[in-house]
Amino acid sequence: MTAAAGRLRAALGTGDGVALVPYLMAGYPDLEGSAQLGRRYAESGAAAIEVGIPFSDPLADGPVIQRVGQAALERGTGMRQALEVTSAVAVAGVPVVLMTYVNPVLAYGVRRFAADAAAAGASGVIVPDLPVEESEPMASWFREAGLDTVFLVAPTSPDERIARIAARSSGFVYCVTLRGVTGARAELAPGLEELLARVRRATDLPLAAGFGISRPEHVRRLRGRADAAVVASALLDRLLHGRDPLELLEAMVAACR
């Protein structure tokens, strides 16, 4: 096992407000720009950083993440380059969790990916199209390398499946706040509190809410219900339009406390 094991749980499960987990796309706006962004996020109070690995068929991602992912691919960002960005972000000292899909991992080689991700300083991996029921042997290679495997629960997940997901997850459980793909939203889904309560009954792992979280008031709504908030499209949309995402990140960090 590597030193990364347990870092996500420790970082997100402090019980002190809501931990913020900003997302960046490896290779956007370019390799150095994405690495620099991750380091700035860490300096601005992020508890952990999610690094997206660009993929041509990102089924869980909305239009903003699709657009920046495609741009990263067109600039030549592949798995090797994404792991270089991971290494450059990890030196900032906060845990890094990779967000990828099954096909890129298979194409790279599962065992090789697990070893190289751990060597790059990653603490865990999110693979949204990897069902918990079909997660072996991929998840076993992640465990062997000391990487947490983070599974997702959705508002449509029945209690028995939430229990299976919670039992197989490590690091934290990713709670998808809405039906559909990622993207900034004006309001959070009305059933969010119920979902978080259902997951909380199934596990003592930290709960991270994601998809649609884009405003400081969204983070405030999570206080006392979720341990962490994942913010992606709202930050990337600012970057797409030439605006510094740090202003929004810092406002959301302040709302976490």
| Domain residue spans of the chain | 7-256
Q: Is 110 exposed, middle or buried (0-12, 13-18, 19+ CB in 10 A)?
A: middle
Q: Is 155 exposed, middle or buried (0-12, 13-18, 19+ CB in 10 A)?
A: middle
SS3 state at 71: helix
pLDDT at 168: 96
Amino acid at 84: E
- pTM here? 0.92
What's the maximum distance between 2 C-alpha atoms anywhere in the chain?
45
Q: Return the bridge partners of 191, or none.
A: none
Give the fold, CATH level 3, of 7-256.
TIM Barrel (3.20.20)
pLDDT at 213: 87
Q: What angle do CA 131, 82, 237 make, to 5 degrees?
A: 85
- Could you give the residue numbers annotated as active site? 50, 61
Average pLDDT along the chain, 257 residues, taken 10 residues at a time: 71 87 97 97 96 90 90 97 98 97 97 98 96 95 97 93 96 80 50 91 95 85 91 93 93 86
Alpha carbon distance 130, 85 (integer Å): 23
- Taking the CA atoms of residue 40, residue 172, residue 61 and residue 134 in that order, the dihedral angle to the nearest 10 degrees is 140
